[in-house]
């Protein structure tokens, strides 16, 4: 069953990339799969709709759970990063406060590899931050804050 769920996540990612104008070859390269599989996804052939339904449910989990479940299924950090970044529409604004001591726990914790140390201070790449807040909870000085950007597509009304 895990392979079917990974296929469901790959399907969702492939369809999203196609809607963004990617060619089949580019989708295959981005997701690390062969072009015939991408063709099957795009044309709706040999697809387990139950797996896609479960994959859609996984994408609606909180960011931390979406990340951890995807990583548990793929057992591949780079594949996880690509799937999360491709599918997730929410955006986050990570803030590192002056209290950062440069211990590196946040770097070690981040499955998305969005955190790095520069001049003994954490820096978080908002393009790769998925909002899981694992770096925030691992910070011994509470110097990291992950804010959700209010223009997230999943909100139908402006947030107050």
CA 24, CA 122: separation in Å to the nearest integer? 37
81 neighbors 128 (Cβ within 8 angstroms) = yes
Q: Which domains does the chain have, with CATH numbers?
A: 2-87 (no CATH), 92-148 (3.30.70.20)
Residue by residue, pLDDT tens for the chain (160 residues) are 578 899 999 999 999 999 999 999 999 999 999 999 999 999 988 788 899 999 999 999 999 999 999 999 999 999 999 999 999 999 999 999 999 999 999 999 999 999 999 999 999 999 999 999 999 999 999 999 999 997 755 555 544 4
Residue 95: beta bridge partners? 145
Distance, in Å, from the CA atom of 11 to the CA atom of 17, rounded to the nearest integer, reads 10
Q: Considering the entire predicted model, what is its pTM?
A: 0.87
């Amino acid at each position: 069953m895990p392979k079917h769920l990974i296929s469901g996540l790959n399907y969702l990612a492939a369809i999203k990339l196609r809607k963004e104008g990617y060619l089949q070859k580019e989708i295959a390269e981005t997701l690390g799969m062969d072009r015939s599989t991408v063709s099957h996804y795009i044309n709706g052939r040999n697809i387990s709709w139950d797996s896609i339904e479960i994959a859609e449910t996984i994408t609606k989990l909180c960011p931390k759970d979406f990340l951890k479940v995807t990583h548990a299924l793929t057992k591949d950090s780079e594949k996880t990063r690509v799937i999360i970044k491709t599918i997730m529409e929410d955006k986050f604004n990570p803030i590192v406060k002056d209290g950062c001591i440069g211990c590196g726990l946040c770097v070690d914790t981040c499955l998305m590899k969005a955190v790095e140390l520069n001049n003994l201070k954490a820096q978080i790449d908002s393009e790769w931050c998925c909002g899981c807040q694992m770096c925030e909870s691992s910070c011994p000085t509470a110097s990291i804050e992950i804010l959700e950007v209010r223009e997230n597509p999943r909100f139908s009304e402006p947030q107050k």
